[in-house]
Structure 1
Amino acid sequence: MDIEVLGTLAIRENDVSVTPRAPKPRQVLALLALHADQVVPIASLIDELWGDRPPRSARTTLQTYILQLREMIAKALEKDPEGNPPRTPKDVLATAPGGYVLHTSGGTSDVREFERLAGLGYRAMDAGDFPRAARELGDALALWTDSALADVQAGPQLEMQARRLEETRLCALDQRIEADLRLGRHRELLGELTVLVSRYRTHENLHAQFMLALHRSGRRSEALDVYQRLRATLVREMGLEPSASVRRLQQSILVAHPEPGTAQPAAADRERLTRVG
């Protein structure tokens, strides 16, 4: 079984789609797919479908959705290659103690591939291998075609999982941009970072990276403007000042080309400015 959730939901068995159109069966399949090869408790599925107000018929209705999914899987299993051990829908979508489990049987999962590639990228960053880090993290991020489960009506469980996936995506993006900055690709990053800071208006590290990219591109005043916009947004929306590290970066940019008599930046911030170029 091949699973794609980093964008629209697409689940295939034998290259045949087993993704239902009806909203609630899609929710059930999405939650099972996110936890492929693991038991998903019935309580979690019921919470996803109805939250804290499940109907009395919740378990029976859930069983109906499982049956509908197995019917779709049965049609896909008709295309099993000859010579393979025969499988039934219950082998693929199995009943387990307290829940259900969707077996991938060696199929692909875009989430697992994303996590594998991102892990390689993080290890390359730790080793100082910035070209490989940028490549592996870029490949990981390329698996995303939209927001996770973009076309699925999400309940409490899927909303939580979608937020978790978005956080992992942002972490990988942050590290890939850092690798590109270390490689001197600041000019190439300007367009991407312009979009990102507009989308994530309170994300301090993305703003700091944008400030660095602008500064290294000779656009010092624009880098300082980015800081002022970030500060105004944080104060207005969250009642917070920028973090100490972002404030230090702003000060470093301010004094990077000082007038006579202006203090030089602290050594740590000077190194921060120069190492990315």
Structure 2
Amino acid sequence: MDIDVLGTLAVRLNGVSIAPTAPKPRQVLALLALRAGQVVPVGVLTEELWGAEPPRSARATLQTYILQLRELITAALANGDGGGAGQRRQAKDVLLTVPGGYLLKGGDGTSDVREFERLAGSGYRAMDAEDFPQAARLLREALGLWTAPALADVHTGPQLRTEVKRLEESRLCALDQRVEADLRLGRHRELLAELTVLVNQYPTHESLCGQYMLALYRSGRRGEALDAYQRLRATLVRTMGLEPSPALAKLQRSILVSGPGTLPARPAASASMAPVG
């Protein structure tokens, strides 16, 4: 089974889609697919579909959705499972009913989440080893697996919203490290357009703002770097009642007291928070 969630939902068995078009069965499949190989309790699926106050018919309706998914699985199995009649898998062997819930067997297929985590993990290890070209390449490849926000075409209840938030945090972490790797490689001018979009998309994200400030400063745009800090500070104070972190404030002071001809070759520690003088 091949499972893609980093964008639109796609679940294929023997090359055949088993993703329903109806919203609620699609939610059920999305949650089962994200937790493939794990038991998903009936209560978790019920909360995902109906929140804290499910209807009295919730369990029966959920069973109907499971039957609909198994019909799609049956059609996919007929497309490609080999072996004699006694060896052919059935839908209930792929989407299992187990005590307390359901379990979707992912088998040996692909998963864009697993591949993203593998590539990102290798990228982080390359960063730790200060192999910045390798880190930038691996993290860029990991981020390239994202075609849109996770589960972009799936209605999300409380369980899926938590999963989507977790995946988005993982993406932002990989993005932060990839930008840092590129900064350490002196690619500050190439990063400016991307960081301009990112700081507008995430106006309270201090690490991205620090990276943007450093890229601007290294590109000879010292005043704009200081303006970026002031915009972040105003947003943090207005929306959260917080001042920027000491590390970001230190970067701002470093830019403020540095002369226009003292652009650093690379940051000393973190690309987003390193002093520039």
Give the TM bin, normalised by the shorter chain. over 0.9
Q: Secondary structure at the match of 2:190?
A: helix
Distance, in Å, in 1 between the alignment partners of 2:163 and 2:274 is: 35
| 1:122-176 deviations in Å (ceiling 9; x for gaps) | 1111111111111111111000011111111100000111111110110000000
Q: Assess if the C-alpha contact under 8 Å between 2:254 and 2:276 holds in 1.
A: no
TM superposition shift of 1:98: 1.1
Shift of residue 57, structure 1, vs aligned partner: 1.2
- What is the CA distance between 1:82 and its match in structure 2? 3.3
Q: Is the 8 A contact 1:8 1:149 kept in 2?
A: yes
Distance 1:45 1:138, change over 3 A: same
- Unaligned 5+ segments in structure 2 are 262-267
Matched, 1:240 2:242: yes
Q: What is the TM-score with the length of structure 1 in the denominator? A: 0.93
Report the counterpart of residue 54 of structure 1 in structure 2. 54
Q: CA 1:268 to 1:174, structure 2 compared with 1: closer, same or farther past 3 Å? A: closer
Equivalent position of 2:9 in the other structure: 9
4+ residue segments displaced more than 6 Å: none
- Paired residue secondary structure (1:100): strand
Q: Cα distance, 1:8 vs. partner?
A: 0.6
Aligned residue in 2 for 1:131: 133
Offset at residue 195 of structure 1 (A) = 0.3
Query: Counterpart of 1:37?
Result: 37
Which residue identity does 2:133 align to in structure 1?
P
- The answer for the alignment partner of 1:166 in structure 2 is 168
Structure 2 equivalent of residue 63 of structure 1? 63
Between the aligned partners of 1:83 and 1:274, the Cα distance in structure 2 is 66
Amino acid corresponding to residue 192 of structure 1 in structure 2: E
Provide, for residues 174-198 of structure 1, a one-character-per-residue CA deviation record: whole Å limited to 9, x for no partner. Answer: 0000111111111110000000000
**Equivalent AA in structure 2 for residue 185 of structure 1:** R
CA RMSD of aligned residues (A): 1.9
Q: What are the Cα deviations for residues 175-222 of structure 1, in whole angstroms up to 9, with x where unaligned? A: 000111111111110000000000000000000000000111111111
Q: Deviation digits for residues 13-53 of structure 1, max 9, x if unmatched?
A: 11111110111000000000110111111110001001111
Aligned CA distance change for structure 1 residues 188 and 246 (closer, same or farther; 3 Å): same
Q: Is the 8 A contact 1:10 1:19 kept in 2?
A: yes
Determine which of 190, 203, 206 is the counterpart of 1:204: 206
Deviation at 1:272, TM superposition (A): 2.7
Q: Give the letter aligned to residue 250 of structure 1.
A: Q
Q: Which amino acid aligns with 2:14?
A: N
SS at match of 2:168: helix
Aligned match of 1:191: 193
CA contact (8 A) 1:211 1:226 kept: yes
Give the structure 2 partner of residue 27 of structure 1.
27
Paired residues of 1:212 and 1:273 also in contact (CA < 8 A): no
Distance 2:96 2:235 in 1: 49
Alignment of 1:221 with 2:255, yes or no, is no
Whether 1:182 aligns to 2:184 is yes
Shift of 1:83: 4.1
**What amino acid does structure 1 have at the position aligned with 2:10?**
A
- Is the 8 Å Cα contact of residues 25 and 65 (structure 2) preserved in structure 1? yes
Partner of 1:72 in structure 2? 72
Where 1:272 maps in the other structure, the secondary structure is coil
**8 Å CA contact retained: 2:6, 2:148:** yes
Number of residue pairs matched by the alignment: 267
Aligned pairs for 1:136-147 within 5 A: 136-147=138-149
| Cα deviation digits, residues 80-109 of structure 1 (max 9, x gap) | 153485211011111122111111110111
What's the CA shift string for 1:240-267, capped at 9, x where partnerless? 11110000000000111189xxxxxxx9
Q: Which amino acid aligns with 1:89?
A: A
